[in-house]
Structure 1
């Protein structure tokens, strides 16, 4: 049987077999896919084809999922272009300004090819070798950028959800060890854990609640704090909630500061939160998935002053660092915090390897198998350069301020965040004298029609029960002229839908 397998010649050489056929297939495959992608971008500057969900689903159901004898890559690529690529959301379009969903940098896309081809697994050194040290150096650089000391450490993650979970996991276990001398890894949560509480603003990311549920504390463990007029956590309200918790004999152990809320891009008062956390013995986790990119800004870096006082930080690179999904990092001010998630397996990361100087990054991660995503960021920083990163980020923040001012002056519109901190603008078409019910309906219809027509993709959200539109201006290729055209289109659509409803 082994001899037969060794003599087998595949009809198609699907691997790098160190032979001419394998190498040719690789280079030919790249050319075929490159052609399909460049054709798509040359022919499409709109954010979406406009097809409805059921139309796309019906079309995709026509495709077979596999073949018995194999098909040519040319044929499969043609199907891919027709059924998948052409109906994808075009995040590179300057009018794709809905979610925190960024265009990608070309060096990062090139890095993706290297990452996938080399297929390094970042759990153990003997599966990643050089990749381990690239990630370690980038983590050191990030820790320096946020202002952490040389005691700090971190790990690349899939993004904000995982990073926020890790911050609250370490916070919970550190509290249990400090207060009750209980090793949660070994003995589980004590009965008193039902009293544990996490504080965050009412605008904090949903993953704070999700993490509390997954950590066995329940969503009821999350105490939301009211925000001020700028949609930032109110320190007065935080202190009031802490007093209530004390009266109820409950045990706050962590406070989450949001550095860039999803809707408004608002940044909680980091210095005041740090002081409150220190005074009350709380772990301070800063969710800077969105706003963490301000470490590279020239004009707006002071917005995140105080982030260096955090115990842990979430940073996403698939937002304002313009990296392909997924790519994020979790940082801690004290590397000893990672002791709460360390496990040693003889076949993977035996303890003696550490003693001999072999670095196994799985010791700092809740993932085992993990991609070499650090390479994307490294190549981007090298090729694009820090100056250009600063220019791109600052441009989008300045643009948001211009856009907010322009919409605020426009007749029939209202803006919720007239002075955006980052680059999100929340507004709505708001004709005078119309009921909230009608205005909500009009804004829903406008958002759907813009997407269906393919002219623009804006997000919609709710605030105080009312429907608003949102522009998330991540793309440095978006110009004020694009926004002016969208506003004109919204006005036309609004008038049309208003007449239809009346």
Structure 2
């Protein structure tokens, strides 16, 4: 069924004012949104593969051909979007999608998106948000309770894990500088670059790149981030962390933060949280847990114990648009002590003057790195009201259980090699039939993946582990079955065989040439 053809067209408005939402245009609003939702429903219904394998230059040509200076009616615009966007969109709900940390999204959250966009609340101040502020604050307290903080916690929703991690490092820097000023009051008068000398951030070698980026943005530089090696299970080695902290303290360096990852991007590894928390406390460092990926385990009573020790953190990053099945963007940073947010508190007379109390005007702007901010908390709120925590937890358990079964299937094959044990819902592996080693298998990865993506039937990722390329499956679709995973592995094997055959043919062709043909001689 073509919904675009069936739904009522709002038609052309008499003026640009007719395209704005107000009391006179609610009928046009319903028609417009109905058309858009219908187009998406049709696209989802007809998506028989996760992507089409379209090349960038093909899509760019379609987009560049649009005349942005010539307005059209909404129906025409949406039909155009079908051609230049939806036709070649990547569909995360499709069982062939196993590439990045993208999830299918909960229907209650999509309903909330319509409310968010229609009302267009801005979350910076109470006088722009009303009840939205209270919903966000309630969700922060609820999340803090899952972490294990009974009271006194606070936080704010953010655009994603990168912003949440940046804010955590900003808070860590603020506490380190405040401690410095208490010990040496004259230090506060020094230029910031001098005050930052010697500050260090300690994190896993597999931690998210946003930690190093944060160090850059905060003036410490990437060299201030100390990468601690991991074990065979890709979890941070706590003994190596403790030894490095002691050695750096003896050198006069100052531990600013210890960052644990609860669910690394590639391996889903959960660092040893309790021991890292103790090490951070011993050396006076801020302890941050980046649970952007693994935070969804908190929704499952069965899986939450995997995050034991998270309650020892000073701050936690959570991405609800990963293992909580929310549309992007929906993330948060939560801090154990609300007073720590005072490290970034700021006031402006036109938004949140210092003379106005929180009781009088409960503003959120001084807690956030953003000013204007969407009411993204409503998506999680609506999902919880419909599914409940247990419902979300059941979805998380589904993808974790699927990955563990996929691990068994992959290791039983004779043509695949798993790089490390499965911990959450990712599998890092190589197509490695008998007779080739890891390095040769690594040389097949790029071509294997290109062949898989070109078919459009499955989307797989790639990464590099200790300098050697690997393939990766990221399983975040609770509707995917083990049969679907096996189908993807079969496609990888087909592409890998073709890549290996092509590579060997290239080697034979290269060997057939006479090396003397490439020398400058009198005959040449």
Flag whether TM exceeds 0.5 (same fold): yes
Q: Distance in 2 between matches of 1:460 and 1:486?
A: 14
Structure 1 residue aligned with 2:461: 459
Structure 2 residue aligned with 1:260: 263
SS at match of 1:460: strand
Contact 2:140 2:156 in 1 (8 A): yes
Structure 1 residue aligned with 2:452: 450
Structure 1 position 63 matched with structure 2 position 38: no
Q: Distance in 2 between matches of 1:435 and 1:33?
A: 51
SS at match of 2:54: coil
* CA positional deviation for 1:183: 11
SS at match of 2:449: helix
Q: Distance in 2 between matches of 1:186 and 1:298?
A: 50
* Correspondence list, 1:96-495, <5 A: 96-181=97-182, 189=192, 191-354=194-357, 356-418=359-421, 420-434=422-436, 436=438, 438-495=440-497
* CA positional deviation for 1:298: 2.6
Structure 1 position 93 matched with structure 2 position 94: yes
- Compared CA separation, residues 455 and 347, structure 1 to 2 (3 A): same
Contact 2:448 2:495 in 1 (8 A): yes
* CA positional deviation for 1:229: 1.3
| More divergent stretch after superposition (244-253 vs 112-121) | 244-253
Q: Distance in 1 between matches of 2:424 and 2:256?
A: 29
Contact 1:353 1:359 in 2 (8 A): no
- Compared CA separation, residues 342 and 489, structure 1 to 2 (3 A): same
Q: Distance in 2 between matches of 1:228 and 1:466?
A: 17
* CA positional deviation for 1:221: 0.6
SS at match of 1:390: helix
Contact 2:199 2:255 in 1 (8 A): yes
- Compared CA separation, residues 91 and 18, structure 1 to 2 (3 A): same
SS at match of 1:220: helix
* CA positional deviation for 1:187: 7.4
Q: Distance in 2 between matches of 1:49 and 1:319?
A: 24
Stretches of structure 2 lacking an aligned partner (at least 5 in a row): 1-12, 505-524
* CA positional deviation for 1:355: 5.5
Question: Rg bigger for which structure?
Answer: 2
Structure 1 residue aligned with 2:520: none
| More divergent stretch after superposition (281-290 vs 444-453) | 444-453
How many aligned residue pairs are there?
Answer: 490
Q: Distance in 1 between matches of 2:333 and 2:275?
A: 22
Structure 1 position 497 matched with structure 2 position 499: yes
Q: Distance in 1 between matches of 2:444 and 2:227?
A: 31
The alignment yields a C-alpha RMSD, in angstroms, of: 1.8
Q: Distance in 1 between matches of 2:120 and 2:186?
A: 36
Structure 1 residue aligned with 2:6: none
Write the deviation string for residues 9-28 of structure 1: whole angstroms up to 9, x where unpaired: 62671122322xx1221111
Contact 2:444 2:500 in 1 (8 A): yes
Write the deviation string for residues 268-309 of structure 1: whole angstroms up to 9, x where unpaired: 001101111111111100001111111101321111011011
Q: Distance in 1 between matches of 2:238 and 2:358?
A: 45
Write the deviation string for residues 334-353 of structure 1: whole angstroms up to 9, x where unpaired: 11111111111111101222
SS at match of 1:176: helix
* CA positional deviation for 1:101: 1.0
Contact 1:176 1:183 in 2 (8 A): no
- Compared CA separation, residues 11 and 137, structure 1 to 2 (3 A): closer
Question: TM-score, normalised on structure 2?
Answer: 0.90
Question: TM-score, normalised on structure 1?
Answer: 0.94
Q: Distance in 1 between matches of 2:103 and 2:186?
A: 41
Contact 2:293 2:323 in 1 (8 A): yes
Write the deviation string for residues 408-447 of structure 1: whole angstroms up to 9, x where unpaired: 11011100123x2211111110122225554223222221
Q: Distance in 2 between matches of 1:64 and 1:479?
A: 44
* CA positional deviation for 1:190: 6.4
Q: Distance in 1 between matches of 2:436 and 2:250?
A: 46
- Compared CA separation, residues 246 and 456, structure 1 to 2 (3 A): same
Contact 2:269 2:424 in 1 (8 A): yes
- Compared CA separation, residues 414 and 174, structure 1 to 2 (3 A): same
Aligned counterpart for 1:17 among listed residues 14, 22, 26: 22
Q: Distance in 2 between matches of 1:11 and 1:460?
A: 47
Structure 2 residue aligned with 1:5: none
| More divergent stretch after superposition (136-145 vs 181-190) | 181-190
Q: Distance in 1 between matches of 2:17 and 2:213?
A: 46
- Compared CA separation, residues 195 and 15, structure 1 to 2 (3 A): same
- Compared CA separation, residues 12 and 453, structure 1 to 2 (3 A): farther
- Compared CA separation, residues 113 and 355, structure 1 to 2 (3 A): closer
